[in-house]
């Protein structure tokens, strides 16, 4: 037998052995589940007690305790893509129900949850300020699909039958007993731009808890120009339906415009369990008046060169609040000088006018024209804080002298008078000398 015939014989033998092994080897086994379905339940993870006036993340766990009860493993079965115990395409919805809370999160797509697995889901929940204390039930709805059965046709195809299902659960949700703060009245005193004043708040506890060692705190709101100087008032025991007044001293920045600006108030207290609790912050508007401003209402005084004169200037308080102990100072600059540059105005109510009197001396070389001298008013507000007004221009008109004063200011006239005086003196001298020589 040649080598060629040997190779052909070996190849034929190998093919025969391979065919025999394929025909005699067992078929691969498949798995089939005869029963089982998802069993979903819902629980709150962590604390379920929340205070009114808070927005909280409510975290829940969705648990699938479903099991595959009967399982067949044999040849000829095609493995299915899903197990009957798997909850597919789960959607979770949290509903307010009869509770006072507001659910701020839309229904959430959770996805697939296999048997013996749990998945966390978080909802944002708002507990309103006026929520009454108590235990409430929050409904949770779960919508999902699961494999009810799979029917195999022949050895190469399967027909799946899925079922949609909706289940509901109630979760216990507790609203804690607490102080609920209400600002029932706001009073202001001398609140104006660039000044200081008082804010008095009437606070009411419309909640269900009695707070002890309660303290009402006033704070600045963002970049508000109203800045508390004294920001804490001790209230003591603050019971339900009780009211208390809290008075605060505040300052207002100079750039504030006449309008309402916000401040914030909250109450810190000890609850029945001895815990220190802070109420949700209440934001309130405070009206701010215009900056204290003074206006000159009198006519421009007229002065003559080379002469000391007294001028009277009328100042009016154009602000919205009274000022106290006002005094005005004028700044005399060349060609003016003054030894009487300060005048007392006293207390001035809004819209009230007072007259200031100054003594000014004008240089003989002053030009006849309109001048403007700076003046400032220093005053105290209702809280006895000292302030200085913006510069107020005092218009002064310099006019030429008239009558004898005008003649005396004329150098030609002065020269003639000098000659007359000298001539008269010489004549008198000669007359006396001739009388003595006789």
User: Would the pLDDT of 308 be above 50?
Assistant: yes
Q: Measure the CA–CA gap between 378 and 390, rounded to whole angstroms.
A: 10
Does domain 23-175 correspond to CATH entry 2.60.40.10? yes
**272 pLDDT exceeds 90?**
no
The token duo for 178 is: 């607490």
154 pLDDT band, cuts 50/70/90, is low
Task: Look at 150 and 103; give whichever has higher pLDDT.
Answer: 103
CB burial readout 37-58, b (16+ within 10 A) else e: bbebebeeeeeeebbbbeeeeb
CB under 8 Å to 225, separation ≥6 — which residues?
193, 252, 253, 255, 256, 261, 288
* pLDDT at residue number 132: 82
Residue 436 has pLDDT above 80, yes or no: no
Find the helix or strand (DSSP H, E) in which 6 lies.
helix 3-24
> What value does the mean pLDDT take over residues 10-20?
48
The backbone torsions φ and ψ at residue 292, rounded to the nearest 5 degrees and listed phi first, read: -60, 125
Enter the pTM of the model.
Answer: 0.60
Task: Assess contact for 240 and 209: CB atoms under 8 A.
Answer: yes
What's the CA gap between 300 and 371, in Å, rounded? Answer: 10
Per-residue pLDDT at 301 exceeds 70: yes
- Distance of alpha carbon 5 from alpha carbon 136, whole angstroms: 92
Asked if residue 87 has pLDDT above 50, the reply is yes
Residue 221's pLDDT is 95
Q: Please give the distance of CA 434 from its chain centroid, rounded to a whole number.
A: 103
Residues 299-311 have a mean pLDDT of 90
Average pLDDT over residues 9-33: 47
Spatial strand order of the sheet with 87-94 comes to 49-50, 157-175, 134-153, 87-94, 108-113
The answer to whether residues 212 and 269 touch, using CB atoms and an 8 Å cutoff, is yes
Stretch 13-24: mean pLDDT? 45
Whether pLDDT at 422 is above 70: yes
Q: How far is CA 184 from the centre of its chain?
A: 21
Instruction: Provide the pLDDT for residue 201.
Output: 97
CA distances from 164 to 63, 158, 212, 375 (A): 18, 20, 54, 87
Predicted confidence band of residue 22 (pLDDT cuts 50, 70, 90) = very low
In the chain, what are the domain boundaries?
23-175, 181-287, 294-400, 406-437
Residues 255, 225 contacting (CB under 8 angstroms): yes
Residue 419: what pLDDT?
80
What digits encode the pLDDT tens for the residues 378-399?
999 888 888 999 999 999 999 9
Greater confidence (197 vs 129) lies with 197
Q: Cβ contacts of residue 145 below 8 Å, gap of 6+?
A: 87, 88, 89, 162, 163, 164, 165
Q: How would residue 58 be classed by pLDDT, with cut points 50, 70 and 90? A: very high
Q: Tell me the mean pLDDT in the region 208-220.
A: 93
294-400 shares the fold of 181-287: yes
CA distances from 146 to 121, 141, 153 (A): 20, 16, 21
Read off the pLDDT band of 72 (50, 70, 90).
Answer: very low
pLDDT tens for 330-353 read 999 999 999 899 999 999 999 999
Q: How far is CA 260 from the centre of its chain?
A: 14
Residue written as token pair 């998802």: 38
Quickly count: other Cβ atoms within 10 Å of residue 208's Cβ: 18
What residues form DSSP beta bridges with 286?
261
Tell me, what's the pLDDT at 435? 72
Q: With bands split at pLDDT 50, 70 and 90, how would you rate the model's confidence at 110?
A: very high
Mean pLDDT of 414-428: 75
Q: Which CATH fold topology does 181-287 show? A: Immunoglobulin-like (2.60.40)
> Of 324, 317, 191, 198, whose CA–CA distance to 256 is shortest?
191
Q: What pLDDT was estimated at residue 287?
A: 94
pLDDT digits (tens, 9 = 90+) for 235-244: 999 999 999 9
126-135 pLDDT, tens per residue? 998 778 888 9
Tell me the CATH architecture of domain 294-400: Sandwich (2.60)
Per-residue burial over 158-167, b = 16 or more CB atoms within 10 Å of its CB, e = otherwise: eeeeeeeeee
What average pLDDT is seen over the chain?
Answer: 84
Percent of the chain with pLDDT over 70: 82
Radius of gyration of the chain (CA): 49
């Amino acid at each position: 037998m040649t080598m060629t015939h040997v190779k052909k014989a070996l190849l034929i033998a190998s093919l025969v052995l391979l065919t025999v092994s394929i025909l005699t080897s067992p078929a691969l086994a498949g798995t089939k589940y005869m029963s089982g379905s998802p069993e979903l339940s819902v629980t709150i993870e962590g604390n379920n007690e929340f205070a009114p006036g808070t927005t909280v993340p409510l975290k829940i766990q969705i648990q699938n305790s479903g099991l595959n009860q009967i399982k067949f493993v044999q040849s000829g079965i095609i493995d299915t893509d899903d197990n009957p115990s798997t909850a597919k395409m789960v959607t979770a919805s949290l509903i307010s129900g009869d509770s006072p809370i507001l659910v701020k999160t839309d229904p959430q797509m959770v996805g697939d949850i296999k048997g013996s697995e749990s998945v966390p889901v978080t909802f944002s929940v708002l507990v309103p300020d006026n929520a009454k204390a108590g235990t409430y039930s929050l409904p949770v709805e779960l919508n999902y699909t699961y494999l009810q059965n799979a029917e195999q046709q022949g050895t190469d195809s399967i027909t799946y039958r899925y079922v949609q299902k909706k289940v509901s659960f109630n979760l216990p949700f507790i609203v804690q007993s607490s102080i609920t703060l209400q600002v029932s009245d706001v009073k202001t005193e001398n609140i104006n731009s660039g000044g200081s004043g008082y804010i008095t708040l009437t606070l009411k506890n419309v909640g269900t808890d009695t707070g002890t060692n309660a303290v009402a705190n006033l704070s600045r709101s963002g970049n508000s120009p109203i800045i508390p100087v004294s920001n804490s008032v001790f209230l003591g025991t603050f019971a339900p339906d009780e009211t208390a007044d809290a008075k605060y001293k505040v300052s207002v920045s100079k750039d504030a415009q006449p309008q309402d600006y916000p401040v914030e108030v909250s109450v810190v207290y000890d609850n029945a369990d001895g815990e220190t609790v802070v109420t949700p912050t209440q934001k309130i508007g405070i009206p701010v008046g215009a900056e204290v401003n003074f206006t000159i209402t009198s006519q421009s005084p007229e002065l003559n060169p080379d002469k000391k004169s007294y001028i009277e200037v009328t100042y009016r308080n154009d602000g919205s609040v009274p000022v106290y102990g006002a005094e005005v100072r004028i700044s005399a600059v060349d060609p003016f000088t003054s030894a009487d540059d300060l005048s007392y105005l006293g207390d001035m109510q809004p819209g009230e006018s007072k007259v200031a009197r100054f003594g000014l001396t004008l240089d003989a070389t002053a030009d006849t024209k309109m001048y403007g001298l700076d003046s400032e008013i220093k005053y105290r507000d209702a809280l006895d804080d000292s302030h200085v007004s913006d510069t107020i221009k005092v218009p002064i008109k310099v006019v030429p002298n008239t009558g004898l004063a005008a003649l005396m200011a004329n150098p030609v006239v002065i020269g003639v008078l000098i000659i007359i005086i000298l001539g008269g003196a010489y004549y008198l001298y000669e007359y006396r000398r001739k009388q003595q020589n006789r």
